[in-house]
Amino acid sequence: MARPDAGIDARTRRGPGPTHLALMLLPALVVVVMLFGGGLLLGVLQALGHLPGAGLERLSGMHFGRVLTDPDFIQSFGLTLYVAAVSTLLAAGLSVVAALALNRMAARWRLVHFVFQIPLTVPHLVIAVAVIFMLSPAGLLARLAVAAGLIETASEFPLLVNDRWAIGIILTYVWKEIPFITLMLLAVLQNAGGELIDVGRTLKADAWQRFRHITLPTIFPALGAASLIVFAYTFGAFEVPFLLGRTYPMTLPVWAYKHYSDIDLMARPEGIATGIVIAAVVAMAVVTAQALTRRARKRGIVL
């Protein structure tokens, strides 16, 4: 004979239904929609020319057209894409090596794991200032090179800050983002990779074959999702390129800030339009990362 409260117990185990869950999330969703959605709507209106303070009230796509056809915008977009892509590729490649190494020493060297997580707590701005003190012509490495007799004067030290190839910016992002990607890969390796590797050894697969056919397919969804998140951040970040980049060409976030803060209010819609372009690129990267994450979960990989 079934207990009278059996149905209640079953509903409790299943958890709240979709309607109940939506009602619980409604207060937070209202705040997010009002703050984020309202700001986004205001930004779109201003990018379309609705700026009463400057005498602009008619909506038009003119400012987007000016931005997208401006040669400076094209150069800035190319520089931003270069910095984001190179930083992401370097961080992803080094993170794979680091994750494999940490996975092997997981049981013995827990202190290494702790030290490896320290960069996650350091703001990008602090790292950028540290890079200036370390790599600028008047920085620590230049002085050490002079003291060691490698160069005669600090001016002979290679230009790594405010340089043409954005080396200082890329090094900052790589140093900062390697722990983030590595820890995501390490979680996957510790949860899903061990048994498959043992099967590969049983089948006499060498180290390269195990990496190519077992490890890489296992970590690829997590690697792709983490890399796209890093790409999205580096593409839209402002403080590091502002401190370590050149005055021309400048990255898109710096270019947008320059227009938005211009004393000429007529330049503000173009700055906001540039910001919306950046947001669109970042949104596409985030959506792609979410798709890779869902694919990984369907395959049973824990992220």
End-to-end CA distance of the chain: 43
Cα 62 to Cα 154: distance, rounded to the nearest angstrom: 48
Nearest to 62 by CA among 51, 75, 78: 51
Amino acid code (one letter) for 298: K
Cα 252 to Cα 278: distance, rounded to the nearest angstrom: 7
pLDDT of residue 253: 93
Nearest to 239 by CA among 173, 158, 167: 173
The Cα-based distances of 202 to 57, 158, 213 in angstroms read: 72, 51, 14
pLDDT of residue 15: 55
Cα 147 to Cα 152: distance, rounded to the nearest angstrom: 9
Cα 95 to Cα 117: distance, rounded to the nearest angstrom: 13
Nearest to 138 by CA among 162, 174, 172: 162
Cα within 13 Å of Cα(157), Cβ side: 21
pLDDT in tens, 130-173: 999 999 888 899 899 899 888 888 888 888 898 889 999 999 99
Listed as ranges, residues in the chain with pLDDT below 70 are 1-17, 51-57, 106-110, 192-199, 296-303
pLDDT of residue 297: 64
Instruction: Report how far Cα 29 is from the mean position of its chain's Cα atoms.
Output: 24
The Cα-based distances of 244 to 10, 37, 107, 247 in angstroms read: 59, 32, 39, 10
pLDDT of residue 168: 92
Cα within 13 Å of Cα(160), Cβ side: 22
pLDDT of residue 149: 86
